[in-house]
């Protein structure tokens, strides 16, 4: 039961738990008629703005999903053909920004590391030999 309550946004729950009416009711206290009219109009504008934002968020999510699939495809291609690569991608989603980093350090990096290790070893041996 607790799990149900802690769910971020339970499925089928309204995206607008606070209705336009709530917004207006909260805001209208202690205002004269003219002020109340302006606030009501602004509240209606806000509801429209939120509906537009919702559409934009849906679009961003759908675009991000496609882009992530493309990223996987491209990374798999690179992975088969190249031994060293790095991909850094950023996606705008409904809730924010996703960053994905994929990198492969192949044989060349291992060779460089081995070469550096060997040089260090030779220097240590030479130093100890000279003492």
Partner 1 sequence: MNTIDYILLFLVSAAVLFVFLDYRFGLLTFGGAKKKEFANSSLVSTLLGLNDSALSELLGLYKREFGPGPARYARRTLKKWKAGEVQPATQTFERFLLQLPKVMSFELKCEVLRHFMEEYAARDSYELDVSTDDWEEKLDPLVEQIIDKAFTANLPAELESKLEWLVEGDMQAARAMLRASQAAEGRLMVSMLHEEFENFERLLGEKHLKPRVTHVLEFPYGTIKLNVKRRVAKNG
Q: Please, which residues have CB within 8 angstroms of residue 4's CB and are 6 or more apart in sequence?
A: 10
The residue among 38 and 108 lying less far from partner 1, judged by its C-beta, is: 38
Contact 43, 27 (CB under 8 A): yes
Among residues 15, 77, 116, 118, the one that binds partner 1 under rule CB under 8 A: 15
* Angstrom distances, CA of residue 29 to CA of 25, 36, 39, 89: 7, 8, 11, 48
Q: Is 92 in the site for partner 1 (CB under 8 A)?
A: no
Q: Is 107 in the site for partner 1 (CB under 8 A)?
A: no
Question: Interaction with partner 1 in 58-87: which residues (CB under 8 A)?
Answer: 58, 61, 64-65, 68-69, 71-72, 75-76, 79
H or E stretch at 75:
helix 33-81
What does the DSSP 8-state code read for residue 28? -
Q: Token pair for residue 62? A: 């759908």
Residues of this chain that bind partner 1 (CB under 8 A): 3, 6-9, 11, 15-18, 22-24, 26-31, 35-36, 38-39, 42-43, 45-46, 49-50, 53-54, 57-58, 61, 64-65, 68-69, 71-72, 75-76, 79, 93-103
């Amino acid at each position: 039961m607790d799990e149900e309550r802690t769910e971020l946004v339970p499925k089928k729950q309204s995206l607008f738990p606070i209705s336009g009416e709530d917004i207006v009711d909260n805001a209208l206290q202690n205002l004269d008629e003219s002020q109340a009219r302006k606030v009501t109009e602004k509240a209606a504008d806000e509801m429209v703005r939120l509906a537009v934002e919702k559409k934009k968020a849906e679009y961003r999510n759908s675009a991000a999903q496609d882009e992530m699939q493309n990223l996987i495809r491209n990374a798999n291609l690179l992975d088969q053909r190249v031994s060293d690569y790095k991909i850094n991608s950023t996606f705008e989603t409904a809730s924010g920004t996703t960053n994905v980093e994929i990198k492969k350090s192949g044989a060349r990096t291992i060779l460089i590391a081995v070469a550096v290790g060997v040089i260090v070893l030779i220097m240590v041996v030479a130093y100890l030999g000279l003492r």
